[in-house]
Amino acid sequence: MTSRVPLEFATGPDPVATIILIHGLGASGETFRPVAQALDLSAVGAVRFVLPNAPVRSVSVCGGERMPAWYDLLDQNFVAREDEAGLKEAAAYFTQLIDQEIERGMVPERIVIGGFSQGGAMSLMTGLRYSCPLAGIADLSGYLPLAPATGRERTAASRATPIFMGHGTRDGIVPLALADAARRHLAGWGYDITWRTYPMDHTIIEAEIRDLNIWLSDVLKPTTL
Write the pLDDT tens digit of every residue in 24-79: 999 999 999 999 999 999 999 999 999 999 999 999 999 999 999 999 999 999 99
In a domain, residue 13? The reply is yes
| 137 within some domain | yes
Determine which one of 3, 28, 60, 202 is catalytic. 202
**Residue 40 among the catalytic residues:** no
- Which helix (H) or strand (E) element contains residue 8? strand 7-10
pLDDT band of 225, cuts 50, 70, 90: very low
For residue 122, the tally of other CB atoms under 10 A from its CB is: 29
> What is the number of other CB atoms lying within 10 angstroms of the CB of residue 192?
14
104 found inside a domain: yes
50 lies in some domain: yes
Range of the domain at 140: 7-54+83-219
Catalytic residue among 117, 123, 141, 158: 117
Q: What is the pTM of this model?
A: 0.95
Q: What share of the chain is helix, strand, coil (3-state, %, to 5)?
A: 40, 20, 40
Tell me how far CA of residue 204 lies from CA of 60, 80, 134, 160, 191, in angstroms. Answer: 25, 25, 23, 27, 24
pLDDT tens figures, 89-133: 999 999 999 999 999 999 999 999 999 999 999 999 999 999 999
pLDDT in tens, 131-187: 999 999 999 999 999 999 999 999 999 999 999 999 999 999 999 999 999 999 999
Q: Tell whether 59 is covered by a domain.
A: no
User: How do 163-168 and 193-198 pair as beta strands?
Assistant: parallel
End-to-end alpha carbon distance in the chain: 40
* Count of the separate structural domains present in the chain: 1
Instruction: State the amino acid at position 215 in one-letter form.
Output: W
Domain harbouring 193, CATH code: 3.40.50.1820
Instruction: Please give the torsion angle defined by the CA atoms of residues 86, 200, 37 and 213, in that order, rounded to the nearest 10 degrees.
Output: -100
Q: Establish if 29 belongs to a structural domain.
A: yes
131 catalytically annotated: no
78 in any annotated domain:
no
pLDDT for 1 beyond 70: no
E strand or H helix at 132: none
Annotation marks residue 217 as catalytic: no
- Catalytic residue (choose from 72, 83, 139, 171): 171
* pLDDT of 224: 52
Rounded CA separation 99/102 (Å)? 5
Is the model's pLDDT at 2 over the cut of 70?
A: no
